[in-house]
Amino acid sequence: MKKKINYRLISQIFFFALVALITMNHYLAESGDGLPFIGSMSLHAICPYGGVATFVALLKYGVFVQKIHPSSLVMLGIILFAGVLFGPVVCSYACPLGSIQEWIGKIGKRVFKKHNKIIPYSIDSKLRYVRYFVLIFTVYVTTNSLKLMFLNIDPYYALFNFWSEEAVVGGIVALIATLVLSLLVERPWCKYFCPFGALMGLTNFIRIFKIRRKSETCIDCKACDRACPMNIKVSDKEVVRNHQCISCGECTSDAVCPVEDTVEMKM
Ligand code: SF4
Ligand code: SF4
């Protein structure tokens, strides 16, 4: 059988390399050695969560939060637009922190039999709402202080700055904990703590192209449930509206569902 091209993996590698290049270049540009076509753009300039964090301050005080640029709002707008169409595709196709958790998770799957089933449902189901608390809390504190307080615990920022003096201890601790936990749980940061994932997760309720299962052709093998990194029970739904879906397309893959066109992303 002809091997299919994994477009999602290609996209993940591309965005990981792009963010790494932008961060490195920003560092070099400060000593005058940066690449001319990128300029001195920083990670803050392309961070959509900066747009979320500054949005309320902009409405309330008419100012941007410290370090945040208008470009963050543009990024946020583009990503939200994609979210309204396809759900949180940014999480599964572009976010480098999501990608690295997924790659480490592949090692975890080989080593630990109970990978991604280790946390009891009663705890896991409650923990999944913590990210909404992180979202509300960080936006509230950021709006009142006009400082990016989330930076102090942000594993994403630490991932691309751990080697520089811009690294923050709290961020590095969060990064190490996230990467180690990824061996046991699929995307632990995304599932439990990511405030941007929380916001994007809400697009699952309004997205135009939805994950749909045809109950008439489904043979109830539950392969889609096993394939879902976010532990969503696709097999008992006609339409997936779960706030944790990251639009990864694992359940819609021909390699997973044995019955053609039974799980699809469509209007
Ligand atoms: S496997 Fe399907 S339901 Fe699960 S996160 Fe991916 S797209 Fe969403
Ligand atoms: S993998 Fe396909 S056939 Fe199996 S339960 Fe899911 S939708 Fe039904």
- Residue 4 Cα to ligand 1 midpoint, Å, equals 19
Please give the class, per CATH, of domain 209-267.
alpha beta
Distance 236 CA to ligand 2 centre (A): 9
Mutate to test the pocket of ligand 2, among 224, 251, 261 (most ligand atoms within 8 A of CB): 224
Residues (pLDDT < 50) of the chain are none
The pLDDT, as a whole number, for residue 150 is 85
Shortest-distance atom of ligand 2 to CA 219: 3
* Among the bound ligands, the one closest to the CA of 213: 2
Beta carbon of 256 within 6 Å of any ligand 1 atom: no
Asked if residue 246 has its Cβ within 6 Å of ligand 1, the reply is yes
Alpha helices in 112-222 (DSSP H): 121-127, 130-145, 155-161, 169-181, 188, 195-201
- The answer to whether residues 19 and 96 touch, using CB atoms and an 8 Å cutoff, is yes
What pLDDT is stored for residue 38 in this prediction? 66
For 91, list phi and psi in degrees, rounded to 5.
-65, -40
Ligand 1 and 250: CB distance under 6 A? yes
| pLDDT given for residue 197 in this prediction | 96
Q: For ligand 1, atom 2, name the residue with the nearest CA.
A: 251
pLDDT of residue 166: 77
Q: Locate the domains of the chain by residue range.
A: 7-204, 209-267
Nearest bound ligand to the CA of residue 256: 2
